[in-house]
Structure 1
Amino acid sequence: MYSARQKYNLSFFSIFILIITAAAVLSGCGKQTSNAASSGKYETLELRYQGAVNSVTYPELAQDLGYLDPIKLKWIGNTTSGPQDIQSTVTGDVDFGSAFNGAIVKLMAAGAPIKSVIGSYGVDKETWSGFFVLDNSPIKSARDLIGKKVGMNTLGAHHEFMLKEYLRRNGLTEKEINQVTLVAIPPVNTEQSLRQKQIDVAVLGGILRDKALERGGIHALFSDYDLFGKFTAGSYVMTDKFLKENPNTAKKFVEGTAKAIEWARTTPREEVIARYEKIINERGRNEDDSTIKYWKSTGIAGKGGVISNKEFSVWENWLVEDGELKKGQLKANELYTNKFNPFHK
C-alpha cells in the first residue's frame, strides 16, 4: 500500500507527464529543423540549458575549453533544483538538464522519455554533504531524529534519499521514518536556521559546509560519503526524441563534457579555480566568484563521467522498497547510455 505522500507523488508525476508529453510534441521542432540545414555534420549548433549561480557546470567548462566547437550553449536562466532542471528538459524548455540519479529514476518511472548520457556530479572524500547538528544537540543517533526537523534544499532529491537510507540502515521502521519532518530551505539560509533552532538538522555541502565549520559549534551526524563512499550521484539527461533526432550533436556534447570532466580531474586545483573564475567573470551574470575558491574536486567516480549500472540500480531498488516503483518496472541498464562517451570501453 502507498502512503498518502507516496500517492501524492505518483499522482503529481502522472499529471506532470500528461502535460510534458503534450509540450514535448509541440516544442523544439522549429529550432532543430531550422538549424539542421546550416549545421553540416551536426543537426543543431545550439544547446539551451540552465546554469547555476556562482558556479560552473561541466558543459560550460567544455565550451570555454573549446571542446564543444562548433556547438554553442545558450543560457536561458538558472535552475532552482535538479528535479526542476530535468523537468524543463522533458518539456523542451532546455535541451539537457542535470539531477540526482534517484530523481531521474523517479521521473522515468512516471513515464518521462529521457535518458542519462553522462555523469554530472558526485561524492568523494573532498566533495560531500553532511547532516549537521549543533554541538549541544541531544541528537546522537538515527533514532533521535524521530519527531525532529531536517532542513535541506530540495525534497524528493539527493538529500532526502540519503536521509532515508541512513534511517533505514539504522533500523527505523517506515512509520518511524515518516515521523521525521523534512523542511525545504534555501541553502544560504540553512545554517542560520540550524543555529536559531528553527530546525534540528541542516544539510550543508561545499562552501556553505566549509564556512559553517569555520564558524564552529556544529558537527556532522553523518554524510553521504559515510553512506556510499565515492560515487557519481547525478547525471545529465536528454530526451529520447532529442537523441534520436540529433545523434551527432548529442555525441559531441557528451564527448566535450567528458573531456572537461577529465580536465578538471587532472588539472591542478588552483588552475581549475582560476579557469572557473574567468568563466564567471566573463559571462556577466552579476555573480560572486569568491565561492569558487572552495571548489575541491569533481566527485565524479567514472572516468569522463562514464555511468555504471550500480549508480542507478541502487536507487531503483530504493524506490521499490519505498513503494514508489514496482519490482521489475524499470531496468537500470535501460535508464542510461554510455555510447556517446569516448572514455567508455
Structure 2
Amino acid sequence: MKNMRKPALLLLVAMLMILTAAACGKNNKDPEKLTAVKFSEVIRSIFYAPHYVAMSQGFFKEEGLNVDMNTAQGSDKGAAALIAGTADISLVGPETTIYIFNQKGDKTLKVFHQLTSKDGSFLLSREKLDNFQWSDVSGKTIIGWRPGSAPQMVMNSTLLKEQAKDAEVITNIAAPAMAGAFTSGQGDFIQLFEPVASTLVNEGKAYYAASMGEAFGAFPETSYVATSDFIKDNPETVQKFSNAVAKGTEWLNTASEDEIANALMPFFEGTPKDLILQSVERYKSQDTWSANPELTQEQFDTLQSVLVENGVLKAEEKIKNMEDVVDMSFVKKNGKSD
C-alpha cells in the first residue's frame, strides 16, 4: 500500500505544479506576443509619475503592451516624432495638436488621455525670500522654457495676471541645461520641474518661491497624443494604453511611500528616496493627477485662451470643434474593456 501511495502522491504533486504554471501564465504575458508601442515622453519628470508606475508595476504588460520609451526633450520634438512615424504615442502638451491642425498638413494629432491638470513647474529663487510676492520678480531675470511651450505660457500668463512688470524670462536655454545655467550664476529665478527643483533646493543652490500650478490654477498641461491615423487603425492598442495609465494613477494614490519610491527610483537614478517622495507629495497636494483623465471642453477653452493671450494662436484660428483634435472615447472606457 505504501508503494502504491507514493506514485499517486507524485502524480498529484505534478498535476498541481502544472495547474500552478498554467495559472501563472495567465498573469505573465508572453513577451513575444506583446504589442510593441514606440513611446516618446516630453521630458523626464516625476510630474509624469503615473506613467512610470504603469511601466514598473507591469500595467502595460497586463494590457498586452510592450512600451519602448524615449525622452524627446520638448513637446515640439515629441509631436514631430509622431508625424515622422518614429513614435506611436507621445506625452506632450495638448497645444501641439492645435498647432498641427492649423498647419493643414497631411496628418493631424489627437489627445486621447489627459494626464495632468496643473502646471508641474516650480519657481525657485537664488536668494532666500521669506515671504515671496510676485512683485519680487519685477526687474529680475527668470530662466524659463522655450517659447510656445506650456510652462513658458503659464509663466507669462501668471506674470500678466500678477502684474509683475519688467521681468525678463530667458527662453533660449535647452531644458537639460537650465539647472546648470542657474547654478553657474545665470538668472535670479528659475522655473523647474521635479525632481530637479527639489534637488537644487536640497543642495542649497536655490530656494523654493512658488508653485506655478497653484499660482495659475487648472490647466491641461500634458496629454497622451497620437496621430488620427494611428488611433483609427489601432483603437485596441490606444484603449489598452489608456487603461494602463489609469491603473498607474489609481495605484499611485493608494500605495505606501516605500512602494512609490521603489516604483519610481529606477527612472530617477541618483535621486534620493526622500526627494522622490517629496516631489510626489508636492504634485499630489496640488491635485496634479485627476482620477478622471478627461480633457473637458472647459479645459480646452482655457488652453486656447492661454495660446491667444501668449500670441501663438490668433483668435480666428481657435478650433471651434474640440473633437477635431480630441478623442475622449477611450478614457470613458477605462477598466471596462476586460
Q: 1:95 to 1:184 in 2, by over 3 A?
A: same
| Equivalent position SS for 1:98 | strand
Structure 2 counterpart of 1:65, which letter? Q
Structure ID, larger Rg: 2
What residue is the counterpart of 1:340 in the other structure?
A: 330
Structure 1 residue 110: deviation in Å?
3.2
Q: 1:144 to 1:304 in 2, by over 3 A?
A: closer
What residue is the counterpart of 1:266 in the other structure?
A: 254
What residue is the counterpart of 1:133 in the other structure?
A: 125
Structure 1 residue 113: deviation in Å?
0.4
CA–CA separation in structure 2 for the residues paired with 1:53 and 1:162: 19
Structure 2 counterpart of 1:84, which letter? K
What residue is the counterpart of 1:113 in the other structure?
A: 108
Structure 1 counterpart of 2:36, which letter? E
TM-superposition CA deviations, 1:306-345 (whole Å, max 9, x none): 2222332112012223343233530373232221113599
Structure 1 residue 99: deviation in Å?
1.4
TM-score w.r.t. length of structure 1: 0.69
Task: Say if 1:130 and 1:220, in contact at 8 Å, map to a contact too.
Answer: yes
Structure 1 residue 63: deviation in Å?
4.5
Structure 1 position 288 matched with structure 2 position 269: yes
What residue is the counterpart of 2:6 in the other structure?
A: none
What residue is the counterpart of 1:252 in the other structure?
A: 240
Structure 1 counterpart of 2:326, which letter? Y
| Equivalent position SS for 2:315 | coil
Structure 1 residue 273: deviation in Å?
1.7
Q: 1:181 to 1:64 in 2, by over 3 A?
A: closer
**Alignment length, in residue pairs?**
286
CA–CA separation in structure 2 for the residues paired with 1:263 and 1:202: 32
Task: Say if 2:57 and 2:263, in contact at 8 Å, map to a contact too.
Answer: no
CA–CA separation in structure 1 for the residues paired with 2:156 and 2:44: 28
CA–CA separation in structure 2 for the residues paired with 1:77 and 1:232: 22
Structure 1 counterpart of 2:186, which letter? Q
Structure 1 counterpart of 2:98, which letter? V
Task: Say if 2:54 and 2:245, in contact at 8 Å, map to a contact too.
Answer: yes
CA–CA separation in structure 2 for the residues paired with 1:211 and 1:192: 12
Structure 1 residue 161: deviation in Å?
0.7
Q: 1:292 to 1:184 in 2, by over 3 A?
A: farther
What residue is the counterpart of 2:195 in the other structure?
A: 207
CA–CA separation in structure 2 for the residues paired with 1:60 and 1:140: 35
What residue is the counterpart of 2:84 in the other structure?
A: 91
Structure 2 counterpart of 1:115, which letter? K
Task: Say if 1:100 and 1:234, in contact at 8 Å, map to a contact too.
Answer: yes
What residue is the counterpart of 2:40 in the other structure?
A: 50
TM-superposition CA deviations, 1:140-169 (whole Å, max 9, x none): 6458545x5321354321221122112221
Task: Say if 1:261 and 1:305, in contact at 8 Å, map to a contact too.
Answer: no
TM-score w.r.t. length of structure 2: 0.70
What residue is the counterpart of 1:67 in the other structure?
A: 59
| Equivalent position SS for 1:204 | strand
Give the 5 Å matches for 1:150-229. 150-171=142-163, 180-187=168-175, 189-216=177-204, 218-229=206-217
What residue is the counterpart of 2:319 in the other structure?
A: 330
Give unmatched runs, 5+ long, in structure 2. 1-33
CA–CA separation in structure 2 for the residues paired with 1:212 and 1:218: 6
What residue is the counterpart of 1:317 in the other structure?
A: 305
Structure 2 counterpart of 1:118, which letter? H
Q: 1:206 to 1:234 in 2, by over 3 A?
A: same
| Equivalent position SS for 1:48 | strand
Structure 1 counterpart of 2:322, which letter? N
Give unmatched runs, 5+ long, in structure 1. 1-43, 281-286
Task: Say if 2:52 and 2:263, in contact at 8 Å, map to a contact too.
Answer: no
Task: Say if 1:47 and 1:72, in contact at 8 Å, map to a contact too.
Answer: yes
What residue is the counterpart of 2:29 in the other structure?
A: none
CA–CA separation in structure 2 for the residues paired with 1:239 and 1:84: 14
What residue is the counterpart of 1:235 in the other structure?
A: 223
Structure 1 counterpart of 2:234, which letter? N
CA–CA separation in structure 2 for the residues paired with 1:170 and 1:57: 30
CA–CA separation in structure 2 for the residues paired with 1:72 and 1:254: 11
CA–CA separation in structure 1 for the residues paired with 2:291 and 2:149: 24
Task: Say if 1:47 and 1:71, in contact at 8 Å, map to a contact too.
Answer: no
CA–CA separation in structure 2 for the residues paired with 1:87 and 1:117: 17
Q: 1:73 to 1:60 in 2, by over 3 A?
A: farther
Which residue, out of 68, 74, 83, partners 1:81? Answer: 74
| Equivalent position SS for 1:105 | helix
Structure 1 residue 49: deviation in Å?
1.4
Task: Say if 1:232 and 1:302, in contact at 8 Å, map to a contact too.
Answer: no
